[in-house]
Structure 1
Amino acid sequence: MSTPSTAPLAPVPTAVHPSTGPRMTGRQKLVLTLLLGAQFMVAVDFSILNVALPAVGEGLGFSLSHLQWIATSFALAAAGFTLLFGRVADLVGRKRLFIGGMVLLGLSSALGGLARTPEVLLSARVLQGLATAAVTPAGLALLTTAFKEGRLRERALGLNGALMSAGFTAGAVLGGVLTDLLSWRWAFFINVPVAALVVALAPSVITDSRPAVRPKLDLPGAATVTGGLLLLVYGLTQAGESGWTTPTTLAALLAGGALLVAFWFVEKRAAAPLVPVHILRRRSVVWGNTTGLIAFVTETSLVFLLTLYLQEVLGYSPLATGLAFGVLGIGTVLGGTLGGRAVGRFGSRRTIAFGGLVQAAATLSLVALGTSGGWIQLVLAATFIGGVGNMLMIVGFMVTATSGLPDEEQGLATGLATMTQQVGIALGIPVMSAVVTARMAGATGPDAVLSGVSLAVLVNSTLVLAGALAAWVFLGRREERSPAG
């Protein structure tokens, strides 16, 4: 494998307390706050328009069948280019890519807020997705290299996971509030001052490593993996919209799968591979990312399923629907703050498996939902408990997938992890939508929607359980505890 020669990025000095172990210094807290704020903002963008889609469609003249592309255009770009940009961050500098991505995010958000036609809005969403694909892996790599492997990194990754998941939930809440009180355009405009603040502070707060020698980018690998991911996400989106057996769906899925297989063979022969094959053979990378994919597919799609339930069965408004997800956000923040401690004490294998069991049990209870308003109590309780379990899985996945690698490969590891996250978010909704649509079989009304949601909830719970069992079996029994430092 050929890797760039780098000047090592020294972690910020850590304060050590004799009784409680390492503590973050003031500078580390500032770096953490800036990076987590940016990641939270990016996570909000995934979902902020979900409950506002009808209002956006009415305002710009989107047909009902094309509304999904407001979300899908963002997801395609974010999921398809994350791995490529994760490697680019290693080659050209993580700090540079992070700041450039934040600039693009601010500008594209302003464009979306000012859009007067569907074409301009979709262009803005694609640009937001590309900005997310740059900011997320670069920011996570900056985070992991600012804290050396051990308890402080686990704590930082726990907070990062909590805010990323909470950001997805907060996006639903914020989107409903802004749409009802102001306009859907503020779902875009709210990003502009936040991005400007991050861009202003980042140059003086964040330090970076720079490669002394920059090898050529693996263009064949970049083309095959990006094309494969784009076609795979597109095919699954089409399956949710028009069914699994349509020619467009089948062609996209087959072509996407063929390109991903080709990617493997390209990387085996590349002089400077985008993803060195030895990384893909690491058990922690393969099964850590597998469980992470399941965690993101299931929790984000559950928000979609419960949105259908609350609005189509119980008759909730977008604002009330968004507020109902606030309890889920509280659960994810709690799970994220506990996740780093759990990994440090019990190891990532046990943390992932236990979190998955908790999430699966909480999700399974939602199969009992009915058509009366009193069932909202079960929704709130199950989403809170499931949110805690989901975040234990996510923190365990992040620690597992980014541990044991040198700093010069952290951009690659975090690129893989964030690709997993974004592909999971992109795939969850179309997959569960396809289950709901198949169960409804053309029927309409609250009872038909409830039937479809119940089946999808059962599938969702089964997937989580499979992820927990995979972590327990394949991550290995002899897992070393992380060092204290």
Structure 2
Amino acid sequence: MAESARPTSPPRIPAQQPSPLPHPRRWWALCVLGLAQLMILLDSTIVSVAMPSLQAELRMADGDRPWVVTSYTVAFGGLLLLAGRIADHAGRTRVFVSGLVGFAVASAAAGASPTAQALFAARAVQGAFAALLAASALALVATSFPDPGERRRAIAVFGALGGAGASLGVVLGGLLTQGFGWRWCLLVNVPIALVALLGAAWMPRDRSPRVDGRIDVSGAVLGCGGLTVLVYGCSRAEADGWAAPSVLGALLGGAALLVAFGVRQTRAAVPLLPPTLVRDRGRVAVLLAGGALMMSQLSVSLFLTYYLQTVLGWSALAAGLGFLPISVVTTATATQLGTRLLPRFGPRVMMTAGLCISACGLFQLTLLGPDSAYPTSVLPALATFSVGLGGSFLAIMNAATSGVPAQDAGIASAVVNSVQQVGGSIGSAVFNTVAASVAAAFHGSTRAATLHGFTVAVRYPLGVLLLAAVATATLARPQRRAPDAVRAGERMGP
């Protein structure tokens, strides 16, 4: 009895393993990764200004013109999920370096294309390697900075560079086309990729665990095929209309493939997309916010391109410079304001507020008239939109990779990139279709009809931003404990 009454010693708790020390070259790695991110988003817009001279030299039909951009975006968006899982299996640094090499070779081939068909093929290869770069780069940023505060700053810089790439593409495209010809809009990627490749040799080694087992080939075919067909359908809607049989067939076919992909992921031994990543309501809110913001960003780019050149009569180069405030304000907001407010308010408040602020900027664009001046009317709208953009993107990128096992960081970053790509494709297609149809029905001058079409079309991404803000505020709300559990906790208080 005496033996049994002896108090038992508490179980020994193993000492907590110290968190890995940050690598001294982590900021150098961020410079290299950010340069690659800037390059792949730069390439999505840099050919826009060069389109007239490109079309004339290659004798490209008007109906084939959209494929200069579509061949890139379809391959990019469709292969992101597969690229993310390849990075988790093969190692993100290795995939990142392979992506740089492939992107440089494809860019050189695109710049030297003798025919339109050769250009389309090279652009598709560019998009495939861009998917490898995008999926591995964000994952490397998340795993290279174990400290949450440093990770926030790193993701802010990384996201700001990506956002700046899309805007700077128009500026650089105008400069290169005017000074050297359209081919340099594609060849410029070669030296950028080579610089990033040299810098990658000094990046710290990625020591994150890799995913074991084989890649889910069936899931890859269904998921990547569904995204590819969906992006293709949205891109064709700009030229053929949403009611065209080819467009409806592509949209329904893509949706069916994605449903089959979701069923497959619940049964696969090693799923391409772990279901736990999309069962979290907070992560769903992140995906909705990311898709809505990309939809609105591309709509603003289209609006501004045509407004400055068609309505205000600016040159292509001057119109490109008109995009610079978006890059400057977005970068400043993300790196200076967002990094300070995110730890205090959390992703839910930052995403919701950012979506609402960006919606205010779009509302200001609906008030523009033929005689509106850039400094007093356009610039304030762009500044308002960019403040919301910078704060929201920081919260989205941070929340997309936080709380994810290290071995799934690649697929987590690929998911948010995929949603943004699909959202951007849908947004640009809807915006162009509405703007063209409204302008065609307007009775007045071409200048007035163009402006009216754009001011009506911008209401659609405006509405999407507000709906996404409501969904984000609702879905990202922290779970509350049941009342009985709360009262029990109070009774068990100190």
The yes-or-no answer on 1:455 pairing with 2:463 is no
Residue 143 of structure 1 corresponds to 141
Cα shift at 1:81: 0.3
Any unmatched runs of 5+ in structure 2? Answer: 1-17, 481-494
TM-score (norm 2): 0.89
The aligned runs of 1:347-366 (5 Å cut-off) are 347-366=346-365
Equivalences for residues 108-127 of structure 1 within 5 A: 108-127=106-125
Aligned to 1:176: 174
Q: How far apart, CA to CA, are the structure 1 residues paired with 2:144 and 2:208?
A: 14
Q: Which amino acid aligns with 2:388?
A: G
The answer to whether the Cα contact below 8 Å between 2:310 and 2:447 also exists between their aligned partners in 1 is yes
CA-CA distance at 1:48 after TM superposition: 0.8
Contact 1:11-1:145 within 8 A present in 2 as well: no
Tell me, in whole angstroms, the C-alpha distance in 1 between the residues paired with 2:177 and 2:211: 49
What is the root-mean-square deviation of aligned Cα atoms in Å?
Answer: 1.9
Q: 1:472 to 1:322 in 2, by over 3 A?
A: same
Q: Where does residue 188 of structure 1 map in the other structure? A: 186
User: Post-superposition shift, 1:53?
Assistant: 1.3
Q: What amino acid is the match of 1:351?
A: M
- 1:97-246 counterparts in 2 under 5 A? 97-148=95-146, 150-209=148-207, 214-246=212-244
Are the counterparts in 2 of residues 149 and 403 from structure 1 also a CA contact under 8 Å? no
1:422-464 Cα offsets, whole Å, 9 max, x none, are: 2233332112111112212466711211111011111121111
Question: Contact 1:99–1:199 at 8 Å: present in 2 too?
Answer: yes
Cα distance change on mapping 1:461 and 1:98 into 2, 3 Å: same
Deviations 1:36-82 (A, max 9, x none): 11111111111111122112111211122321111111100110001
Distance in 2 between residues matched to 1:194 and 1:175, nearest whole Å = 15
1:254 and 2:223 aligned: no
Q: CA deviation at 1:221?
A: 0.6
Q: CA deviation at 1:213?
A: 6.9
Paired with 1:55 and 1:389, the residues of 2 have a C-alpha distance of 35
Match of 2:280 among 271, 279, 282: 282
Q: CA deviation at 1:467?
A: 1.7
The aligned runs of 1:245-324 (5 Å cut-off) are: 245-324=243-322
Maintained 8 Å contact 2:234/2:425:
no
Letter in 2 for 1:86: G
Aligned residue type for 2:199: L
Contact 2:352–2:470, Cα closer than 8 Å, also in 1: yes
> Does structure 2 conserve the Cα–Cα contact (< 8 Å) formed by 1:72 and 1:426?
no
Q: Given the two structures, how large is their TM-score scaled by the length of structure 1?
A: 0.91
* Alpha-carbon distance, 1:304 to partner: 0.8
Q: Is the 8 A contact 2:175 2:317 kept in 1?
A: yes
**d(CA) in 1 for partners of 2:405, 2:247:** 40
- 2:447 aligns to what? 446
Q: Match of 1:399?
A: 398
399-408 or 205-214: bigger deviation:
205-214
CA contact (8 A) 2:110 2:119 kept: yes
Q: Distance in 1 between matches of 2:147 and 2:221?
A: 33
Which residue does the alignment assign to 2:21? 13
Which position in structure 2 is the counterpart of 1:430? 429
Shift of 1:357: 1.3
Task: Work out whether residues 74 and 231 of structure 2, in 8 Å CA contact, stay in contact via their aligned partners in 1.
Answer: yes
SS at match of 2:194: helix
How far is the alpha carbon of 1:316 from its aligned partner?
A: 1.9
Code of the aligned partner of 1:379: V
The Cα shift of 1:375 comes to 4.8
- Which of these residues, 76, 79, 85, is aligned with residue 78 of structure 1? 76
Distance 1:282 1:477, change over 3 A: closer
TM-superposed CA distance for 1:339, in Å, is 2.1
SS at match of 1:249: helix
Aligned mates of 2:77, 2:342 — CA distance in 1: 27
User: Which AA in structure 1 matches 2:288?
Assistant: T
Aligned amino acid, residue 110 of structure 2: G
Deviation, structure 1 residue 12: 6.8
Aligned length: 460
Change (3 A) 1:186 1:87: same
Once the two structures are TM-superposed, the CA of residue 302 in structure 1 deviates from its matched residue by: 1.1
Aligned residue type for 1:404? G
* Amino acid across the alignment from 1:170: L
Task: State the Cα deviation string for residues 209-259 of structure 1 (Å, max 9, x = none).
Answer: 375773111011101111111111111112221111111011101100100
Helix, strand or coil at the partner of 2:182: coil
Residue 377 of structure 1: how far off its partner (Å): 3.4
Structure 1 CA distance for aligned equivalents of residues 114 and 229 of structure 2: 29
Post-superposition shift, 1:313? 1.9
Q: Distance in 2 between matches of 1:240 and 1:95?
A: 37
Report the Cα offset of residue 354 of structure 1: 1.1
| 8 Å CA contact retained: 2:49, 2:170 | yes
Equivalent AA in structure 1 for residue 171 of structure 2: V
Deviates more, 1:204-213 or 1:94-103: 204-213
Q: Match of 1:359, as an amino acid?
A: S
CA distance in 2, matches of 1:264, 1:414: 18
1:466 aligns with 2:467: yes
Deviations 1:269-314 (A, max 9, x none): 1111101212221112211111111011111221012212222222
- What residue is the counterpart of 1:54 in the other structure? 52
> CA 1:213/1:273 → structure 2, altered by over 3 Å: closer, same or farther?
closer
Aligned to 2:388: 389
Letter in 2 for 1:134: L
Cα separation, partners in 2 of 1:119 and 1:389, compared to 1, 3 Å? same
Partner of 1:476: 477
Distance 2:19 2:321 in 1: 39
Kindly state the Cα deviation for residue 11 of structure 1 after the two structures are TM-superposed.
Answer: 8.0
* Structure 1 residue ranges (4+ consecutive) displaced by more than 3 angstroms after TM superposition: 209-214, 441-444
* Structure 1 residue 420: Cα displacement: 2.0
CA deviation after TM superposition for structure 1 residue 400, in Å: 1.5
